Structure 1
Amino acid sequence: MASPINSKSAREKLKPRREPYWSRIQTGLYVGYRKPEEGDGTWIARRRADDGKQQYHALGTFADYDQAVKAATQWANALDAGVSAKGMTVKQACKHYVSHLSLHKGKASASDAEGRFRRLVDDAPLGRIDLAKLRTSDLTAWLSKQVELDEDDAEDEEDLRRAKDSANRNLASLKAALNLAMKDRLVATDAGWKTVSKFRDVGRRRNAFLPLHQRTALVEACPEDLQRLVKAMLLTAARPGELANANAQHFDRDQGTLALEGKTGYRVVTLSTAAMAFFDECAKNKIGNAPILATDFGQRWNKDMWKKPFREAAKTAKLPTTAVLYSLRHTAISEMIADGMDSFIVAKLAGTSTAMIDEHYGHLRHDKTRARLDAVALL
């Protein structure tokens, strides 16, 4: 006997009701069609478990009967393979992964992943999606949203590159969580995320290095207040935001140090003799919480204030179009490494890791070492 739901015309003749119209696929396995008062109908699968209890699974909407049968069969086969019959959301999969990390990798790894998921998954629409219904487009949209920077809010290519690099790390953590869910048979397939690719060429070595003649031209092209910020970056290799946050009280004349606080926390950096003289001049007639570097109007610097003046100065100095304020930090680190400073010391001064120094500036150390090797008669 023909099923009342195996053709579109047959389904259209059905009376709307909450209870699905069922069609047997094979022994113990059925696919059902729920006819609503209006709109598209939905499909559901049903099977009898080994313990005799009925198991149900919402399949969603399909254009035809055969697609619903295929989905129901895949669900049943996944259960036979050991996949959990209970649905799991992306958020729950992330919690499952954090527990796994805590047990096998330690608290630090678990805390890092937990923080990413709390910021980007837990309260996002993505977090509420059932793993079995997760689509590639859901994950792609989630990834793209992380780099939706307004052009005026990004430090040109450098900000966008860093945003993409960060998004790649977030994607790696999420895919690790989803892959663990599949490994632990909490979902039948990885089709929803397997083909989602990370952003390419965003972890590459920085290339906006400014040689001495360009640095000199830039300083001369800057208005006096921006000139002080530019010089401070070149003398310390600090991030611009860290210098903008620094107060007069953070400069210790006796010790020759400057306390900075930013994305990597609080640190006290040693200043060169030239830097000590520079900050001593900047701190004149300033006390307490007064910004040690300020605009001509006495305001604390921020990205919106330095962006346009820097672009104009860079254009006047005929710098490469890739040059941004952050390029000065890269330039200072490059010069320190090229001059033979130990990467551990440079990392402490710049507020970064030795791994980052070796990854992005190691080539400079090799060049320096090669020059020294060339001076040694080995053969």
Structure 2
Amino acid sequence: MARTVKDARLDSRAARERLEPRKKPYYRSIESGRHVGYYKGPRGGTWFARTGEPGSYREKRLGTADDVLDANGTDVLSFAQAQAAARDWFDKLANEADALGEGAASTVRAAVERYIKAMDARLTKREGRAVKSGASQKLKRHVLDNDDFADRELHTLTVALLRGWRSKLSVAPATRQRVTNDLKAALNEAAPSAALKLVIKEGLASPKGESHEPAEEAADASKLLTDDETRKLLKAIHDSDPDGDLYRLSLLMAATGARFAQLRRLTVGDVQAARLRIMVPASRKGRVGSAQRAAVPVPVGQDVIDALLPITKGRKASEPLLERWRHVQVKGQLWERESRGPWQSAAEMSRPFRAAVQAAKLGSAISAYSFRHSSIVRALKEGLPVRLVAQLHDTSVAMIERNYTRFMADALEDLARRAVVPMAAQPTGENVVPIRRA
């Protein structure tokens, strides 16, 4: 039968001063089978942690007691800090035991690779063809290529380690959050204990006040299209696109100013012809949690509606609106059409779009994103309130002000000039003095 451990008072300096120095630490139970210990030596005290049963205890030195020096939470600990450090060690041992109970301890790499495989399989099943998930590329670059981090065993993960990994991600805030969310999901699926899941949750939590808003590329004159240039570019795309797939996508980019990632999710039901508007899905960039914002109603002209109506007839409202042909290589350089499906990546439009820009003899700075820049600047110059411009383009007022300041100033000056009225007295005919002839 295990003997009962007699607790010693260790919670204050005065209580510890009354203890006699001895070779073995004094212990105080903080949980069943778990103790925090205090060794009183001739040159000061030291904190220990102990777990297990008599004869099979595991012990760990935690740090110096704050008998002389003030506690700093690192190497000089108060009684409360020693308790916290002991519990951290107990949890780490529990995680290690759980992991080893299933065989070799799982690593971050193994957890991430399983997660990527599951995500790719889910997308492949949904699309009916082999598809790589967005998580695959992001996690490979930021986790799997980092050998020191990826080869760590799960039970060795700490809050500080995870926070350090996250802080070193040299990417935009929205991208950092997406990578973090993917890693968190991968680790949680493989975590052997609730204690480790708490470490993952705290270590990968967003710092208070951190923005997850998608960054907008700053606009300058070389990236903008006048209305005539927009029409010229759209004509070049139309002439080089016999199926009209790229043309319809580009037309919607120009008419709505929406991002590719939003437009690729349009459904047939999002075209509201009677009201001359498109219900543009809200961007998923920078989203935290599962809440989904409502679609943004964006007015368009009858010409845009007329271009879209042919691909809406006879189709269900839930079907993807914008599709393109997919090709398979059958022999050498010979490719054949296989099937039609939704656009997947902006890279699919980059080559033909660049060819159209060259055919239209426009500047090298012009890209598909120029449609968005030009739409925002056009709305500002027309005097639309900045808040409305931000809402129509699914961004924030702060983002508009930060990236389009010069164009806002021009637009505000034009608006102010409309309010200018004559102030000085004007000469009238009554002041005309006739000249008499001699």
Name the TM-score, length of structure 1 as normaliser: 0.50
Largest Rg, 1 or 2: 2
Aligned to 2:7: none
Contact 1:24–1:30 (8 Å) recurs in 2: no
- Quickly say closer, same or farther: Cα 1:282–1:358, change in 2 above 3 A: farther
Shift of 1:353: 3.2
Q: Matched residues in 2 for 1:252 and 1:73: separation?
A: 64
Contact 1:334–1:364 (8 Å) recurs in 2: yes
Shift of 1:251: 1.6
Aligned to 1:232: 252
- Give the aligned residue type for 1:250: D
Aligned to 1:300: 342
Q: Matched residues in 2 for 1:341 and 1:127: separation?
A: 55
Aligned to 2:172: 164
Q: Matched residues in 1 for 2:63 and 2:260: separation?
A: 61
- Quickly say closer, same or farther: Cα 1:203–1:350, change in 2 above 3 A: closer
- Quickly say closer, same or farther: Cα 1:47–1:343, change in 2 above 3 A: closer
Shift of 1:276: 3.2
Residue among 295, 309, 313 paired with 2:356: 313
Secondary structure of the structure 1 residue equivalent to 2:84: coil
Secondary structure of the structure 2 residue equivalent to 1:351: coil
Aligned to 2:44: 27
Aligned to 1:276: 305
Name the TM-score, length of structure 2 as normaliser: 0.44
- Give the aligned residue type for 2:371: L
Higher mean C-alpha deviation, range 353-362 or range 324-333: 353-362
Q: Matched residues in 1 for 2:45 and 2:219: separation?
A: 61
Secondary structure of the structure 1 residue equivalent to 2:298: strand
Shift of 1:316: 4.3
Secondary structure of the structure 2 residue equivalent to 1:333: helix
Q: Matched residues in 2 for 1:220 and 1:128: separation?
A: 59
Aligned to 1:342: 385
Aligned residue pairs total 249
1:357 aligns with 2:400: yes
Residue among 205, 213, 216 paired with 2:218: 205
**Tell me, which stretches of 5 or more residues in structure 1 are unaligned?**
1-21, 32-42, 51-71, 93-118, 148-162, 172-197
- Quickly say closer, same or farther: Cα 1:79–1:215, change in 2 above 3 A: farther
- Quickly say closer, same or farther: Cα 1:25–1:274, change in 2 above 3 A: farther
| Residues 287-308 of structure 1 deviation map (CA, whole Å, 9 limit, x = unaligned) | 5344433325643222143233
Map 1:129-278 to 2 at 5 A: 129-130=157-158, 134=160, 139=163, 141-145=165-169, 163-166=171-174, 205-207=218-220, 209-212=223-226, 214-222=229-237, 223-224=240-241, 225-262=245-282, 263=284, 264-278=293-307
Q: Report sequence identity in percent.
A: 19
Secondary structure of the structure 1 residue equivalent to 2:295: strand
Contact 2:224–2:374 (8 Å) recurs in 1: yes
| Residues 72-95 of structure 1 deviation map (CA, whole Å, 9 limit, x = unaligned) | 997343538x85651498xx9xxx
Shift of 1:235: 0.7
- Quickly say closer, same or farther: Cα 1:334–1:243, change in 2 above 3 A: same
| Residues 324-373 of structure 1 deviation map (CA, whole Å, 9 limit, x = unaligned) | 42332222122111221223333332233334333333442321122343
Q: Matched residues in 2 for 1:85 and 1:321: separation?
A: 63
| Residues 9-60 of structure 1 deviation map (CA, whole Å, 9 limit, x = unaligned) | xxxxxxxxxxxxx9969322489xxxxxxxxxxx94454578xxxxxxxxxx
Map 1:19-98 to 2 at 5 A: 26-29=43-46, 44-47=61-64, 75-77=74-76, 79=78, 85-87=83-85
Q: Matched residues in 2 for 1:25 and 1:166: separation?
A: 56
- Quickly say closer, same or farther: Cα 1:232–1:266, change in 2 above 3 A: same
Contact 2:63–2:77 (8 Å) recurs in 1: no
Q: Matched residues in 2 for 1:280 and 1:214: separation?
A: 25
- Quickly say closer, same or farther: Cα 1:302–1:317, change in 2 above 3 A: farther
- Give the aligned residue type for 2:277: T
- Give the aligned residue type for 2:74: W
Higher mean C-alpha deviation, range 296-305 or range 324-333: 296-305
Aligned to 2:371: 328
Aligned to 1:56: none
- Quickly say closer, same or farther: Cα 1:299–1:167, change in 2 above 3 A: closer
Higher mean C-alpha deviation, range 226-235 or range 307-316: 307-316
Q: Matched residues in 2 for 1:127 and 1:337: separation?
A: 54
Secondary structure of the structure 2 residue equivalent to 1:302: coil
